[in-house]
């Protein structure tokens, strides 16, 4: 299939610049994955769709304030760095802008007592760096770092929690699992009261979030790696639900990727691993029965994933309807429930 097969026209004014308040007041486009039929609702109305025994799977990764601004020690030139993946012993994979001059041996200063040295280049244009600091690394990030909101969001955050799910637990992501931003603590409690089981996996969102598809034939795209963890009890509960015919509802593409990566045999395996799973039309789904998701960028791997799940024609028709009805798009935008 061609990359252009996953394009759609989006007016810029529909790109959400701030989250809905309260979170669950955003709009929700309900889409039947078999027929393509849709309904317009509010996100909190997802309660009406819950069947007793439904299993919702959330990604409890926590976004770190990973965007840092500094200067090259040699020239004083301004540098923006985005932390991606910790490698141990204060070594990180990062993105650097401008990156052309970020050569091995160069030092970048973010503060008088917080700097890094470039060690090597990585695939996809990243850099390996080693940090030098006194005190606690996380404290430095909290003090100097900004939340790494996507480039299409131009408005500054009111506070860092706006780009964090209410159940975020394990630090490590360079971007939020944004489908989860719509859930409030009160809504989660109401879901449990309706008979839903809430489970959590962890996938740290990495470099691929910022990497567009460049290949004309989508099959030629090389997917990025991300690290995920599924606890033994979580895997057991998902497998029990599948065996009993209960729905597995993934909240967000990162939960989808985790479940499908760990469930390639039809059973979800507990543990931690890297995944390079690339889901596009033709993929054979193993675990996920329904998806809560945001509206994704044109020609992205995420819209390809949705097309694989519900059919390209159904997804593009739903997106066109969302544009007609002036839904809000992307990270802080409205949501879809594909079931």
Which residue is it, tokens 């308040």?
21
User: What are 164-207's pLDDT values in tens digits?
Assistant: 999 999 999 989 999 999 999 999 999 999 999 999 999 999 86
pLDDT for the residue numbered 210: 65
What is the model's pTM?
Answer: 0.93
Which residue is it, tokens 């061609």?
2
pLDDT by residue, tens only, the chain of 339 residues: 999 999 999 999 999 999 999 999 999 999 999 999 999 999 999 999 999 999 999 999 999 999 999 999 989 999 999 998 889 999 999 999 988 888 999 999 999 999 999 999 987 778 999 999 999 999 999 999 999 999 899 998 988 899 999 999 999 998 999 999 999 999 999 999 999 999 999 999 986 766 789 999 999 999 988 999 999 999 999 999 999 999 999 999 999 999 999 999 999 999 999 999 999 999 999 999 999 999 999 999 999 999 999 999 999 999 999 999 999 999 999 999 999
3-state SS, one letter per residue, for 270-330? CEEEEECCCCCCCCCCCCCCEEEEECCCCCCHHHHHHHHHHCHHHHHHHHHHHHHCCCCEC
Which CATH superfamily does the domain covering 3-63+159-338 fall into? QueA-like (3.40.1780.10)
Name the architecture of domain 67-144.
Beta Barrel (2.40)
DSSP-derived secondary structure letter, 224: P
In this structure, what token pair is assigned to residue 40?
Answer: 């317009």
| Element (DSSP H or E) covering residue 208 | none
pLDDT for the residue numbered 206: 80
For every residue of 38-56, DSSP letters joined together read EEEEEGGGGGGGPPTT-EE
d(CA 161, CA 137): 20
Closest by Cα among 198, 217, 201, 199 to 278: 217
Classify burial at 270, counting beta carbons within 10 Å of its beta carbon; exposed 0-12, middle 13-18, buried 19 or more.
middle
pLDDT for the residue numbered 224: 86
For every residue of 30-99, DSSP letters joined together read EE-TTT--EEEEEGGGGGGGPPTT-EEEEE-EEE---EEEEEETTT--EEEEEEEEEEETTEEEEEEES-
Helix 301-310 and helix 253-262, axial crossing angle in degrees, nearest 10:
70
pLDDT for the residue numbered 15: 98
Averaged pLDDT score across all residues of the chain: 96
Domain ranges of the chain: 3-63+159-338, 67-144
């Amino acid at each position: 299939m061609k990359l252009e097969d996953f394009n759609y026209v989006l007016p810029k004014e529909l790109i959400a610049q701030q989250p809905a308040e309260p979170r669950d007041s955003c709009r929700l486009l309900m889409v039947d994955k078999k027929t393509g039929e849709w309904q317009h609702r509010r996100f909190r109305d997802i309660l009406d769709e819950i069947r007793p025994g439904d299993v919702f799977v959330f990604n409890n990764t926590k976004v770190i304030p990973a965007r840092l601004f500094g200067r090259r020690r040699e020239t004083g030139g301004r540098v923006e760095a985005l932390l991606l993946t910790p490698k141990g012993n204060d070594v990180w994979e990062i993105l650097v802008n401008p990156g052309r001059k970020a050569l091995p041996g160069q030092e970048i200063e973010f503060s008088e007592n917080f700097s890094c040295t470039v060690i090597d280049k990585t695939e996809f244009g990243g850099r390996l760096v080693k940090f030098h600091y006194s005190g606690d690394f996380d404290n430095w990030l909290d003090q100097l770092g900004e939340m790494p909101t996507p480039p299409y969001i131009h408005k500054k955050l009111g506070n860092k929690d706006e780009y964090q799910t209410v159940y975020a637990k394990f630090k490590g992501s360079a971007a939020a699992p944004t489908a989860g931003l719509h859930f409030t603590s009160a809504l989660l409690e109401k879901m449990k009261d309706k008979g839903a089981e809430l489970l959590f996996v962890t996938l740290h969102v990495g470099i691929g979030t910022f990497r567009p598809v460049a290949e004309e034939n989508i099959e030629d795209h090389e997917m990025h790696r991300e690290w995920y963890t599924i606890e033994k009890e979580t895997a057991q509960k998902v497998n029990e639900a599948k065996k009993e015919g209960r729905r597995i509802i993934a909240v967000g593409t990162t939960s989808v990727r985790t479940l499908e990566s760990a469930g390639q045999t039809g059973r979800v395996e507990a543990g931690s691993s890297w995944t390079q799973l690339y889901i596009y039309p033709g993929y054979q789904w193993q675990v996920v029965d329904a998806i809560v998701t945001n509206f994704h960028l044109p020609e992205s791997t995420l819209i390809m994933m949705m097309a694989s799940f519900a059919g390209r024609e159904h997804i593009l028709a739903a997106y066109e309807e969302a544009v007609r009805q002036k839904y809000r798009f992307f990270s802080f935008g409205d949501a879809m429930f594909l079931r």
